[in-house]
Homo-oligomer: A and B are copies of this chain.
């Protein structure tokens, strides 16, 4: 695996948190205990736990120790952005259907969207996400089959492509372009909104290491909110 020890420690802790094994409020072992557990210096675990705190997964206070943070509000977090998780977190039933699927060589238009050279094999998918049966988001995705050859054989019947991809090839970098559009007839029909209604588009490109993996355009009804939080580098931040 070859990854730095502090990354491995961070991932193990992260896994315990996101899987729910350690629920919000659960206290983590102290740095000293973690150092003993992993047989390393305290600074190494400190680096791992500090990264979790920067990511907002845990809260650290002197004497009180490090505890798993309450999950942030119900809105879509731009950083995470797994639609099934988002819908279920709002207490709604999640469903999806693959409306269209095509495997092809990237056209010039595709190439511009995904950031690959024309001619590279891609998988194009259109997916509708639903919450309590109501259209929630329309997803138009391109997957680089060079980066993810397994996608060719995947039916995407158990999991939508975003979640499937995240499990196999988690992104290391993502770029979102966000814009507002008036719904055209096609989008209005899919999302069951009035033609001309303002919709929010999130064009997202994801990399794994230096490789472009996927491009997705998510179109939401306009009253949906995207939420992004930023923490100025090096500052201690708010409570």
Interface residues of A (CB under 8 A from B): 6-7, 10-11, 48, 51-52, 54-55, 75, 78-79, 170-182, 196-200, 207, 209-211, 220, 222-239
On chain B, the residues within 8 Å of A178 by CB distance are 178, 200, 225-228
Select one of B52, B177, B227, B229 contacting A173, CB under 8 A. B229
Name A232's closest neighbour in chain B (CB-CB): B172
Interface of A is mostly: mixed
- Judging by beta carbons under 8 Å apart, are B230 and A179 in contact? no
Bound form: Cα–Cα A199–B196 in Å? 12
Given contact pairs A10-B233, A233-B52, A234-B7, A198 touches B180 in the complex (Cβ within 8 A): yes
| 12 chain-A/chain-B pairs, Cβ below 8 angstroms | A7-B235, A11-B234, A78-B228, A172-B238, A174-B229, A178-B178, A178-B226, A182-B222, A196-B196, A209-B236, A210-B238, A210-B239
On chain B, the residues within 8 Å of A7 by CB distance are 234-235
On chain B, the residues within 8 Å of A179 by CB distance are 200, 222-226
Bound form: Cα–Cα A224–B10 in Å? 38
Name A4's closest neighbour in chain B (CB-CB): B234
